[in-house]
């Protein structure tokens, strides 16, 4: 019996050592796998670090190269030349504006020709009396009175036949109101019954001058002056006037002068809303668009 129990104990001990050895082998396998995974991670991490290091080195090298180039004497020299050219361009814009303005004034400054007045006088109907004869920039405005409503119409027809004007139109024909007059009936019979105004154009074309200026006391030109020659009665139109961008700067329209006369606030709002300034050509037109510099990052 004693031998039997001893054998059983020995068997149990052997089973225990057998199970322990199997467990130890399994743990060893897990450790090997973990070491392999760790080694793989180290290799992958090293590879990523190497790539990042190479890219960082290349980037730093590029930055250093660019910095050296910007600090180089040749680059600084080119930068100085650019600044001087920019200054010269601003000065040339000012000169171009001044010269263009002078040429426009010379081109469109006319003198009254006495022969034109003779033609007007010879083509007046008998009952027409001229009370005013204004001449400016190739445009004649004739005001007067007549006995008949149709006499001014006959006068315009005579002007057209005589080919005095390139274009002629009647601005108004109105009956004269004598209700508040103290004239006697005999005196009223001698008075003209209608007043009229006729507008005639001696020229076929006029110049439209458009300039963009910085709204400061010196009125510095922002762009070259734009000029165009249009026929009488044609329409001019300039779009994109509300604001414009030049490089990093944005400019907003602040006010407008047309032939040195400021437009009204209502007209300015209308121009800003439509982003266009337009009109009909009946004379030479000098449009000055004044702008203010918008804050950086604003409108």
Which architecture characterizes domain 114-201 according to CATH? 2-Layer Sandwich (3.30)
- The whole-number pLDDT of residue 103 equals 67
* Residue ranges of the chain whose pLDDT lies below 50: 20
- The whole-number pLDDT of residue 176 equals 86
- The residue extents of the domains of the chain are 114-201, 205-293
Give the DSSP per-residue string, 225-260: PEEEEEETT-EEEEES-SEEEETTEEEEEEEEEETT
Give the pTM: 0.48
Query: Residues 208, 237: contact at Cβ < 8 Å?
Result: no
Cα(202)–Cα(245) distance, integer angstroms:
40
Which architecture characterizes domain 205-293 according to CATH? Roll (3.10)
- pLDDT, tens digit, 9 for 90 and up, residues 239-283: 999 999 988 899 999 999 999 999 999 999 999 999 999 998 888
Instruction: Give CA angle at 14 (11, 20), nearest 5°.
Output: 145
What SS3 class is residue 269?
Answer: helix
């Amino acid at each position: 019996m004693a031998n039997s129990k001893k054998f059983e104990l020995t068997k149990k001990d052997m089973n225990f050592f057998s199970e322990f050895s199997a467990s130890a082998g399994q743990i060893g396998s897990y450790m090997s796998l973990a070491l392999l995974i760790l080694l793989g991670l180290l290799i992958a991490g090293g590879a990523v670090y190497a790539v990042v290091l190479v890219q960082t080195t290349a980037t730093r090298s590029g930055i250093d190269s660019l910095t050296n180039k910007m600090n180089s004497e040749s680059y600084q020299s080119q930068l100085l030349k650019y600044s001087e050219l920019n200054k010269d361009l601003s000065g040339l814009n000012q000169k171009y504006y001044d010269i263009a303005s002078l040429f426009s004034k010379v081109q469109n400054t006319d003198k009254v020709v006495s022969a034109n007045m003779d033609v007007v006088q010879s083509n007046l109907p008998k009952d027409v009396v001229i009370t005013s004869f204004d001449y400016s920039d190739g445009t004649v405005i004739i005001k007067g009175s007549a006995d008949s409503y149709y006499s001014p119409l006959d006068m315009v027809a005579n002007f057209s036949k005589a080919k005095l004007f390139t274009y002629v139109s009647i601005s108004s024909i109105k009956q004269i109101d004598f209700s508040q007059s103290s004239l006697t009936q005999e005196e009223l019979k001698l008075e003209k019954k209608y007043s009229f105004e006729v507008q005639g154009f001696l020229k076929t074309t006029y110049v439209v001058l458009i300039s963009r200026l910085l709204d400061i006391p010196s009125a510095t030109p922002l762009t070259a002056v734009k000029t165009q020659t249009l026929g009488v009665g044609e329409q001019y139109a300039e779009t994109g006037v509300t604001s414009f961008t030049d490089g990093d700067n944005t400019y907003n329209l602040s006010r407008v002068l047309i032939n040195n006369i400021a437009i009204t606030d209502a007209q300015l709002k209308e121009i800003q809303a439509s982003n266009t300034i337009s009109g009909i050509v009946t004379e030479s037109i000098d449009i000055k668009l004044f702008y203010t510099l918008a804050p950086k990052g604003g409108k």
